[in-house]
Structure 1
């Protein structure tokens, strides 16, 4: 998404400097060697990244170089809690607008995205002309309102697509032709969605019908996890379905890959689907699914949505209906400490990692029975507490917080582990 958006800015005559985590250039734009170099002297900084952790990591590197009076337009889908956390960590001299978008790569190329903008009126006015380069700007309200609107919209659109996948699979089982079903749905309010998914339905991946990746299935799963529904809803059920598809290795596929996934699951002998399918391994009878190993009655869980462990522990284990999540810390995929010295930044990363692991097993923070926190400095407990309250919004679980002299890696300030009851778990 970021690359075609940067091209739009170049074509509109703006002076553009780009930086990408995977190095790449844009014709007509200067290429920076680091986030700090990219934002130096910039009046407006636009971020388009995959998730809250990526945004916080990149802007932590860039923040010292932001000039007084600069404006950051955060256009990723990270949710209002992360936007509030970002505001806390940006210098007071820097303004912030949250402006996530509706649309995929093609609308980004064409400048037909819908931009959901939240922020102070004076800040929105400063960046509106630039945001209009990307498409139609819809002002959602004050700070965080754009991020909240984006999650609310995706909580309707993504489950609708998962529901349609299940309808196609169920119809096929009853002898209904999928193409004919889409034809009928085309004359209903679901018509536009039916046409979007038609290539995936009528030409399965096995027959060469892999759709262009417009909205990644893994990103859709992330978006629903960020929505953090406080009750068991259709969106929560869709989130669980997508989390199992990510665990089955489909995180990098387009969201329409859920049609083939659901179809295969419906043909499983026990009806439980690929996410629960087990198979004997050659070495000793452990049953596996992507990211999960079963040994006896215990599942060892390592979701693809969080950085891999060092092989000496699993991110979580599950026995029946109980989920035990290992202590999470602020390390990136390379094992580097994130937000060194910044308790709020590390707390945000930790809570987001916990949310992804919980979501992989169909849980939210409402399902947590106990949370245990280790701090290297108890005087900084309020900084952690402010972040935690953005994630645990209902009646809190049982809790233990202790101060320790140090954690396993220098620079780490906090480690948090949780235990949860899996909804419907046995």
Structure 2
């Protein structure tokens, strides 16, 4: 049996291909009513296709009680080699791990024409991986993750460069189609055609492109760094869920003199929706202001009613997703404020917080209050974050 964790844009067609190939597949997604541990129970192969390193760590940590000895985890998300090494340390020694991110978007995922970049011992999953497309065996564990980041560090900045090329052309009276026609005779022709008319369908989201460049950031990468900053601006402007080709519209609006909104509300699809009267976070320049986070699930029900430990864990998982969306980590938190209804339970909160905030602690305030806005809530946490430049 195969357990497939993650049913987003890529996960759905990939899981369908496995089913059509005759494999018994159990799928899991957030809010399904089934825990990750229940989903992987009895599975020989566990495939993860999730949004970012924080999501992968969270889901696999939750799945640990259900992983059978001898099972193999195939991590197919784009999380980078450092996160793969962290997963190896997280998983029991008797559970195998292969990193196998893919090149290609939703169409190739459905057609089985992805390129699978595999690291580690794939002898037990080679046949399964071939259902998705061509398998490139690249070496030891982490080699696939490193290759994926290296490739995206070229492909994504090239698309940002072309977006700026089209914006410059339009600002100087150059016909967009004519420019695309000239570029078609160059090595950039295929990418130029993709940018000429931004896609209405999200095949590879702008937010994921920004995340991929953040994972590959290094001090000497000046071109990738500039592209990363441009994508971060577009993501903060609310384009994170759009296709990467939307960067052309964003760049064009700036070169035409369009004024960027100074306070940009952020509401992620991966965390429960608000009631419409606040946003989960607001970005102003390089500062992120995170609203008070409480323990609610996707249906608006309280998680761990009355339990400080359970609510603390849920809140810090939500915070990790908000930070990851903006390319930040817990080390970037400048200020954290905590509201508790019972100071006698503060040790339970502190144990959870210490697992997430491990370095030099941020500025902090803790306040005991008589009650929070819903009965059963015992904790609320808000933050100010200094985002990476």
Give the TM-score range, shorter chain.
Answer: 0.7 to 0.9
| Structure 2 residue aligned with 1:61 | 62
Q: Pairwise mapping of residues 237-316 of structure 1 onto structure 2 (< 5 A)?
A: 237-267=226-256, 271=257, 273-274=258-259, 276-277=260-261, 289-291=263-265, 302=266, 304=268, 307=271
1:191 corresponds to which of 171, 189, 192: 189
Aligned equivalents of 2:211 and 2:175: distance in 1?
32
| Structure 2 residue aligned with 1:138 | 136
Q: Pairwise mapping of residues 165-176 of structure 1 onto structure 2 (< 5 A)?
A: 165-176=163-174
| Structure 2 residue aligned with 1:394 | none
Shift of 1:336: 5.1
| Structure 1 residue aligned with 2:72 | 71
Question: Deviation digits for residues 322-353 of structure 1, max 9, x if unmatched?
Answer: 7477799997876858xx79x99999986675
Conservation of the 8 A alpha-carbon contact between 2:117 and 2:136: yes
Distance change >3 Å, CA 97–CA 329, structure 1 → 2: farther
Aligned equivalents of 1:324 and 1:37: distance in 2?
36
Conservation of the 8 A alpha-carbon contact between 1:328 and 1:350: no
Distance change >3 Å, CA 64–CA 410, structure 1 → 2: farther
Q: CA RMSD in A?
A: 4.3
Q: Pairwise mapping of residues 5-404 of structure 1 onto structure 2 (< 5 A)?
A: 5-21=14-30, 33-119=34-120, 121=121, 124-200=122-198, 210-231=199-220, 233-267=222-256, 271=257, 273-274=258-259, 276-277=260-261, 289-291=263-265, 302=266, 304=268, 307=271, 323=287, 353-354=322-323, 356-357=325-326, 359=327
Conservation of the 8 A alpha-carbon contact between 1:171 and 1:177: yes
Aligned equivalents of 1:405 and 1:159: distance in 2?
45
Conservation of the 8 A alpha-carbon contact between 1:217 and 1:255: yes
Conservation of the 8 A alpha-carbon contact between 1:52 and 1:82: yes
Shift of 1:54: 2.5
Distance change >3 Å, CA 167–CA 126, structure 1 → 2: same
Distance change >3 Å, CA 322–CA 46, structure 1 → 2: closer
| Structure 2 residue aligned with 1:26 | none
* Structure 2 runs not aligned, ≥5 long: 1-9, 339-345
Aligned equivalents of 1:163 and 1:322: distance in 2?
23
| Structure 2 residue aligned with 1:297 | none
Aligned-partner SS, 1:157:
helix
Shift of 1:247: 2.5
Aligned equivalents of 2:313 and 2:147: distance in 1?
24
Aligned equivalents of 1:410 and 1:231: distance in 2?
47
Shift of 1:405: 12
Aligned equivalents of 1:328 and 1:141: distance in 2?
45
Distance change >3 Å, CA 344–CA 139, structure 1 → 2: farther
TM-score by length of 2: 0.73
Shift of 1:48: 1.1
Aligned equivalents of 2:295 and 2:80: distance in 1?
21
Aligned equivalents of 1:332 and 1:128: distance in 2?
40
Aligned equivalents of 2:159 and 2:270: distance in 1?
25
Aligned-partner SS, 2:89:
helix
Distance change >3 Å, CA 380–CA 59, structure 1 → 2: closer
Aligned-partner SS, 2:78:
coil
Aligned-partner SS, 1:256:
helix
Shift of 1:146: 1.5
Conservation of the 8 A alpha-carbon contact between 1:36 and 1:61: yes
Q: How many residues align?
A: 358
